[in-house]
């Protein structure tokens, strides 16, 4: 195979894969470094980054486009921006079959014999006639059948790639489409091009359909696809459905001229128009109804009383608390006792309350009621930090909800969940999909207690569960609302400010921050929230000051750009301090891809994906403890660093660093579910920050909060409506 052409800085080369220098596969994606032979004497090294192509095989023909860059040690290398497999030319068939690992048992001699005995070999292979190949060559039918099967599998991939490239599908989505639809991808897309909406945006899909696949403007597939696109866009904004008038406006923006009254009557299975005038995709409709049905079944289950609430165990717990707190008159409030009773005697219970209302104390009392009688309790939280905090304050083992869900089927098989109680702390972070995953797996006599604060941010994904339950017209649901603040740290002022924001009123106790301010309290510092440079400088100055009171400090912003800038500036500050204390030396660095992604030993990081193999969840926080100068192989993985996460010490590959970011500063959603001594909050998006975002950010702190922004802006945000109240739902949970 001999091809090389170029235009300006872009070059396209096509050749045979001679050697694979490096290849790594993770979560369905791969990255590779390999050599392509072009002609008899020319080879080029190709670097394919993550997600660009599947793992290449020796002997395959690939066409790669990209820019040549000179490496000081390895010379010119093509950094590919696109890569597609090609069908081999007739003269290369024998070489292709002999070298390719997909054809075991077919060495050079057998491959040459194919060409000699079967002049039109490619036609025979395409026809799948393994018997003809066996008869003409005298090679066994089993080996010939394997040859034909592997050939057709490889060539179907090539033809699919050519089809997708021809209609304009970006290369990074072609493998995903093949994984999704298999060899029928061409048929499926021709039948309905708007299936591509699962991967591409409306504008690109509509252009492909009308330009390449002859779809008319008034085609019913286009109408239904436009509605699906509108609902998907709403889903990414947190909505499970859309009002009909909003659908009409969204369709007009997509240049759909057919009236909505006509589109809604089309025969289709993609969306439903509900009795409440909401439009909902069938997937969201099914999910909402399944979650509601499962919750109803749990709330109304009355085949037997799980446990009897015992007053003597409550008295035991209160006596122990009086001794610990040295408060001779300590007693739980009536609503707190009610919450403990509900969690003990009912299959589904819910406890909602703001900062300092005693949710942790109630959790300990519930655990006491069960452990005293030998009943299993599983304590879970959405983040590793929150789970570790709950384990510390309750003295009971806790785990992340992600880890619990991974083990739930095994525990059910072993009978470990029979008659148990599952407590989910920070349950407001659970979305309908995760809720259903848990509910469908629970055995019949397992109880569930949800604890949280419905005034916090809703789940990152669409929909609401805890927020709805906290406000539903409860009939069967045993729900307790905690209103009175009990926390011993009331002197910090955090519960007072947080509860004022919960009531959507202006907090009265926020003070101006100075370097002489006490080590506790809620403060504000005026700053121009539109000036990114000033934002970063001010936050770093405050951070440096608060570090003097202890290392448990986090910075929280709304915008990702602000967060990234602060993390980058904090990294430079960290390096400057390290050099000053280590005679100008830098800490050992991790360089997984290129310089912008560089990390250093000792830096805080956050993991951004649920990873079953690593036993890490989205939001796991850690610190890089070791950076290897050269990659090492541990347990079959090429490891470049190790980090201590809340879940334990983990070895990290280059692939892991695609899912890691610096964590000097976090977004509000990433900070939710965890707690620090001190929190610095930047109001860097006045138009988008709402009541629940500010409330959630403030309640991440146990001792001190510093808010960067004008007092007038704080007041306006505090009195705004929570974002959860603005989410559209298809079939709300009206009552349980």
Banded pLDDT at 595 (limits 50, 70, 90): very low
Mean pLDDT to the nearest integer, 209-232: 95
- Residue 259 predicted with pLDDT over 90: yes
Burial annotation 278-290 (CB, 10 A radius, 16+ → b, else e): bbbbeebbebbee
Q: Tell which residue, 233, 272, 231, 243, has the closest CA to residue 728.
A: 243
Compute the Cα dihedral for 663, 669, 673, 678 and give only its sign: positive
pLDDT in tens, 146-156: 999 988 888 88
- Residue 1 predicted with pLDDT over 60: no
pLDDT of residue 74: 77
pLDDT of residue 340: 95
**Do 77 and 68 form a contact (C-beta atoms < 8 A)?**
yes
pLDDT of residue 488: 46
Mean pLDDT to the nearest integer, 422-447: 92
pLDDT of residue 592: 62
Mean pLDDT for all residues in the chain: 88
- Residue 681 predicted with pLDDT over 80: yes
More confident residue, 689 or 474: 689
Q: What percent of the chain has pLDDT over 70?
A: 96
Compute the Cα dihedral for 352, 353, 355, 361 and give only its sign: negative
Strand 665-667 with 553-557, pairing? parallel
Which residues, at least 6 apart from 718, have a Cβ–Cβ distance to it below 8 Å?
500, 501, 504, 505, 506, 507, 691, 694
- Residue 593 predicted with pLDDT over 70: no
As a whole number of angstroms, the distance between CA 547 and CA 623 comes to 17
Lowest-pLDDT range, 404-408, 505-509, 597-601?
Answer: 597-601
pLDDT in tens, 535-579: 899 999 999 999 877 778 999 999 999 999 999 999 999 998 888
Mean pLDDT to the nearest integer, 250-264: 94
Residue that the structure tokens 């904090």 belong to? 570
pLDDT of residue 594: 47
Mean pLDDT to the nearest integer, 227-251: 96
Residue that the structure tokens 């009409």 belong to? 248
pLDDT of residue 666: 95
Which residues, at least 6 apart from 186, have a Cβ–Cβ distance to it below 8 Å?
159, 160, 163
More confident residue, 288 or 596: 288
Partnered with residue 480 across adjacent β-strands are 351
Partnered with residue 153 across adjacent β-strands are none
Rounded to the nearest 5 degrees, what angle is found at the Cα of 585, between the Cα atoms of 579 and 591? 105
**Helix (H/G/I), strand (E/B), else coil: 173:** helix
DSSP 727: -
pLDDT of residue 597: 64
Q: Tell which residue, 563, 478, 567, 41, has the closest CA to residue 299.
A: 478
The continuous run of DSSP H or E covering 503 comes out as none
Banded pLDDT at 123 (limits 50, 70, 90): confident
pLDDT in tens, 468-481: 999 887 668 899 99
pLDDT of residue 539: 92
pLDDT in tens, 60-70: 889 899 999 88
Q: What percent of the chain has pLDDT over 90?
A: 53
pLDDT of residue 264: 94
As a whole number of angstroms, the distance between CA 48 and CA 25 comes to 12
Banded pLDDT at 336 (limits 50, 70, 90): very high
Phi and psi angles of residue 385, each rounded to the nearest 5 degrees, phi first:
-65, -40
Supply 540's token pair: 């770093």
Mean pLDDT to the nearest integer, 172-180: 82
pLDDT of residue 6: 54
More confident residue, 321 or 278: 278
**What's CA 300's distance to the chain center, in Å?**
33
């Amino acid at each position: 195979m001999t091809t090389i052409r170029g235009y300006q800085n872009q070059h396209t080369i096509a050749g045979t894969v001679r050697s694979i220098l490096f290849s790594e596969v993770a979560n369905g994606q791969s990255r590779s470094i390999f050599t392509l032979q072009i002609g008899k004497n020319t080879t080029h090294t190709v670097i394919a980054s993550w997600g660009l192509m599947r793992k290449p095989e020796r002997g395959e023909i690939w066409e790669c486009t990209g820019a040549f860059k000179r490496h000081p040690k390895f010379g010119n290398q093509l950094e590919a921006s696109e890569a597609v497999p090609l069908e081999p030319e007739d003269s290369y068939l024998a070489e292709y079959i002999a070298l390719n690992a997909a054809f075991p048992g077919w060495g050079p001699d057998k491959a040459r014999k194919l060409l000699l005995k079967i002049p039109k070999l490619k036609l025979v292979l395409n026809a799948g006639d393994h018997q003809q190949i066996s008869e003409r060559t005298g090679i066994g039918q089993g080996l010939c059948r394997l040859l034909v099967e592997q050939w057709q599998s490889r060539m179907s991939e090539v033809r699919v790639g050519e089809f997708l490239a021809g209609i304009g599908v970006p290369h990074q989505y072609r493998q995903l489409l093949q994984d999704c639809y298999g060899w029928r991808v061409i048929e499926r897309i021709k039948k309905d091009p708007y299936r591509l909406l699962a991967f591409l945006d409306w504008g690109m899909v509509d252009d492909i359909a009308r330009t390449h696949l002859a779809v008319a403007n008034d085609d019913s597939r286009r109408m239904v696809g436009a509605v699906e696109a509108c609902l998907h866009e709403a889903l990414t904004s947190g909505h499970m459905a859309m009002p009909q008038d909003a659908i009409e406006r969204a369709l007009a923006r997509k240049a759909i001229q057919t009236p909505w009254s006509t589109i809604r009557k089309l025969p289709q299975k993609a969306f439903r128009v509900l009795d409440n005038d909401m439009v909902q995709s069938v997937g969201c409709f099914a999910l909402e109804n399944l979650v509601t049905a499962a919750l109803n079944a749990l709330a109304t289950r009355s085949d037997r009383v799980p446990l009897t609430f015992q007053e003597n165990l409550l008295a035991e717990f209160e006596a122990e608390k009086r001794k610990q707190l040295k408060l001779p008159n300590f007693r739980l409030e009536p609503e707190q006792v009610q919450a403990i009773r509900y969690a003990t005697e009912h299959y589904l219970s819910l406890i909602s309350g703001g900062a300092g209302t005693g949710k942790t104390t109630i959790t300990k009392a519930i655990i006491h009621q069960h452990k005293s009688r030998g009943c299993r309790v599983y304590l879970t939280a959405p983040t590793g930090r929150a789970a570790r905090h709950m384990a510390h304050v309750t003295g009971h083992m806790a785990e992340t909800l992600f880890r619990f869900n991974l083990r739930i089927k095994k525990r059910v098989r072993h009978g470990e969940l029979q008659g148990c109680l599952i407590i989910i702390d920070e349950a407001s972070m659970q979305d309908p999909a995760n809720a259903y995953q848990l509910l469908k797996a629970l055995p019949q006599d397992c109880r569930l207690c949800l604890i949280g604060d419905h005034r916090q941010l809703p789940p990152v994904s669409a929909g609401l569960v805890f927020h709805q339950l906290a406000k539903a017209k409860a009939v069967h649901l045993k729900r307790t609302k905690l209103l009175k603040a009990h926390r011993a740290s009331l002197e910090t002022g955090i519960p007072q400010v947080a509860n004022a924001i919960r009531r959507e009123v202006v907090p009265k106790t926020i003070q101006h921050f100075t370097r002489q301010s006490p080590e506790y309290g809620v403060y504000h510092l005026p700053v121009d929230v539109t000036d990114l440079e000033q934002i970063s400088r001010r936050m770093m100055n405050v951070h440096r000051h608060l570090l003097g009171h202890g290392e448990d400090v986090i910075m929280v912003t709304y915008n990702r750009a602000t967060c990234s800038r602060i993390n980058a500036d904090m990294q430079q500050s960290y390096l400057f301090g390290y050099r000053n204390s280590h005679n100008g030396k830098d800490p050992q660095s991790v360089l997984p891809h290129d310089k912008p992604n560089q990390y250093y030993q000792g830096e805080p990081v956050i993991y951004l994906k649920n990873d079953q193999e690593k036993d890490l969840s989205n939001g796991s926080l850690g610190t890089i403890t070791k950076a290897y100068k050269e990659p090492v192989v541990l347990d079959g993985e090429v490891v470049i660093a190790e980090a201590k996460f809340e879940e334990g010490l983990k070895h990290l590959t280059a692939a892991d660093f695609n899912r890691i970011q610096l964590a000097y500063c976090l977004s509000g959603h990433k900070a939710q579910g965890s707690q620090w001594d001190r929190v610095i909050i930047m109001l860097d998006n006045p138009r988008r920050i709402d009541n629940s975002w500010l409330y959630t950010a403030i309640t991440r702190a146990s001792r001190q909060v510093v808010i960067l922004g004008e007092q007038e802006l704080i007041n306006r945000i505090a009195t705004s409506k929570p974002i959860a109240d603005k989410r559209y739902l298809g079939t709300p949970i009206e009552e349980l």
